[in-house]
Amino acid sequence: EVQLVESGGGLVQPGGSLRLSCTASGFTFDDYGISWVRQAPGKGLEWVSTIYRHTSTTYYADSVKGRFTISADNAKNTLSLQMNSLKSEDTAVYYCAGEDGPYAPFEYWGQGTLVTVSA
């Protein structure tokens, strides 16, 4: 059974930084892609970033490029999202999502962690 648990959310000032973590069980970061997806209040899901460990490839949404950094510790099966220069628009519930092959990039989901950016 695949389980993903996000942590690290909270209240942060605009321009501040926050680091999110996602700990996985029953899922390997080695051969599969894992992503961060967020949902702002009253809005739909927005893809944020994806890392593919087997190719050392990362992807970012334009809205976060240059500010967020995705990384994975395969030894600990932990995914991280370093969030810098946070804006109010970054306020959202952040989910980690693991793929089950290229046709199911968001097959597995965690429960999410809330990030609130406000002065």
Query: CA 23: distance to chain centroid?
Result: 11
- d(CA 63, CA 113) in angstroms, rounded, equals 19
Report the pLDDT value the prediction gives residue 75, as an integer from 0 to 100.
83
What was the pLDDT predicted at 33?
Answer: 87
pLDDT band at residue 16, thresholds of 50, 70 and 90? very high
Q: How confident is the model at residue 55 (pLDDT cuts 50, 70, 90)?
A: confident
Higher pLDDT, 32 or 98: 98
Nearest to 96 by CA among 2, 21, 19: 21
**pLDDT band for position 74 (50/70/90)?**
confident
Q: What is the pLDDT of residue 67?
A: 98
